[in-house]
Amino acid sequence: MAEFLCPENSLSGSLPSELGRLTGIQELVLSMNSFTGSLPNELGQLTSMTLLEIYRNSLNGSIPSDLGRLTSMEELKMSRNAFTGSLPSELGQLINMTLLEIDRNSLNGSIPSELGRLISIEELKMSRNAFTGTLPTHIGLLTNMTLLEIHRNSLNGSIPSELGWLTSIEELKMSRNEFTGSLPTQLGQLTNMREFSCYRNSLYGSIPSESGQLSKITSLNLRENSLSGSLPTQIGLLTQLTELSLRSNSLDGPLPSEIGLLTQLSGLWVNDCFFSGAFPSEIGLMESLQILNLRNNSFSGLVISELGQLGNLQELDLAVSPPSLRGPFPFDSLPGSLGYLNISGSPGLVGSIPEELCFLQKSSCSYGDDAQCYIDFDCSSLLCGCDCDC
């Protein structure tokens, strides 16, 4: 028998050790069932096997080191079980493997450096476990890899500069770990990368100007770190970006005018930082923007009339502290798609709030992270409308 395919049934109980007698089997698919118990060591006898799918069961215990004998293996899918213990270093012997999925288990310990031997690997998914320790520099040897997911672990230490060798990578997900240090400049060599998420770590230092070399990137998420310094002007080179989140960092200085070159951007979150200076009028060129969140920075001066050119805008948050924005606000040119407007903290704003915006206070809908449709502003002698009298 070359194949035994039995996914998505209601099979339960433990996997029998007698499966080890199927020495000619090439594909064994038992995913999306209700199997329990440990994985039999005897599976290591199936040396002709190229595909093993056991994801979405309730298997537990440790992953047998005997799986390292399956040197013909190409795809090993073990996600969404309850495996515990460390990842066997013997898996590094599976040099023909192109896909390894072990995400959403309870694996712990360090990631073995032997994984650097998986020279054929294209996708490596290890997220949502409890891995600790540093990310092995040997990961940089996996130059055929297009996807690396290690988010939601407890990995620490610095991000290895050797990741810059992964020039085939398209998606790199490292969020919600405990990484420290600065972003390696070598990440700028990943010119095929479309998505990079590294939020909720403890990274510090500046955003390297080399990030401007990521010409294919569409999503960049570095929020909730301790990054500092100014936003490099090279950000304007990332013309394929659709989402940019830098919120909750220590970035400062003015927003570079080059940000207006990001005409594909639909979401920009730079709130809860230390940006200052005037709004660049070039923001008005970003016609794809649906969410613009600049809350809790130190912007000052006049609100740019070019905001009225953002015809797709759904959420606009300009709340500042201390009060610093002033002058006419372009209420009349705001798009009808707007469902969230926060201009609180600036009693120096001037204008008359259209009646249709007042109804946002009574609406209930959602755009973006946790936003609900509403309008928030400070009554003043210069700002009329809704419940405010000039």
For the chain, what are the domain ranges? 233-390
Residue 43 confidence (pLDDT):
97
At the topology level of CATH, where does 233-390 sit? 3.80.10
Query: CA-CA distance, 311 to 108, in Å (whole number)?
Result: 49
Position 386 confidence tier, pLDDT thresholds 50, 70, 90: confident
Instruction: Sort 42 into a burial class: Cβ within 10 Å, 0-12 / 13-18 / 19+.
Output: middle
Q: Answer whether the bond into residue 322 is a cis peptide, omega within 30°.
A: yes
* Mean pLDDT of the region 148-171: 98
Instruction: Tell me the pLDDT of the chain averaged across its residues.
Output: 92
Q: Check pLDDT > 80 for residue 366.
A: no
Residue 362 confidence (pLDDT):
42
Pick the closest to residue 304 from 288, 322, 328 (CA basis).
328
Residue 373 confidence (pLDDT):
61
376 or 155, which is more confident:
155
Q: Check pLDDT > 60 for residue 368.
A: no
* Residue pLDDT, tens place only, 337-352: 888 888 888 778 888 8
Instruction: Sort 32 into a burial class: Cβ within 10 Å, 0-12 / 13-18 / 19+.
Output: middle
* Mean pLDDT of the region 122-136: 98
Q: What is the token pair recorded at 166?
A: 């992964």
* Residue pLDDT, tens place only, 25-51: 999 999 999 999 999 999 999 999 999
Query: CA-CA distance, 365 to 360, in Å (whole number)?
Result: 10
* Residue pLDDT, tens place only, 170-189: 999 999 999 999 999 999 99
Residue 328 confidence (pLDDT):
87
Work out the angle at residue 124's Cα, subtended by the Cα atoms of residues 121 and 130, and round it to the nearest 5 degrees: 145
Contact by Cβ (8 Å): 28, 49:
yes
Q: Check pLDDT > 50 for residue 365.
A: no
**Residues facing residue 36 across a β-bridge:** 14, 58
* Mean pLDDT of the region 233-255: 97
Contact by Cβ (8 Å): 177, 156:
yes
Find tokens 């040396």 and name the residue: 47
- Range of weakest confidence among 3-7, 80-84, 195-199: 3-7
Sign of the Cα torsion 92, 93, 95, 98 reads negative
* Mean pLDDT of the region 91-115: 98
Q: Check pLDDT > 80 for residue 372.
A: no
Interacting residues of 340 by C-beta distance below 8 A, sequence separation 6+: 314, 315, 316, 317, 360, 367, 371, 372, 373, 374, 375
Per DSSP, the residues of 184-244 read: PGGGGG-TT--EEE--SSEEEEPPPGGGGG-TT--EEE--SSEEEEPPPGGGGG-TT-SEE
Residue 201 confidence (pLDDT):
98
359 or 71, which is more confident:
71
Pick the closest to residue 86 from 68, 67, 104, 61 (CA basis).
61
Position 1 confidence tier, pLDDT thresholds 50, 70, 90: confident
**Collapsing DSSP states into helix, strand and coil, what is residue 73?**
coil
Residue 352 confidence (pLDDT):
85
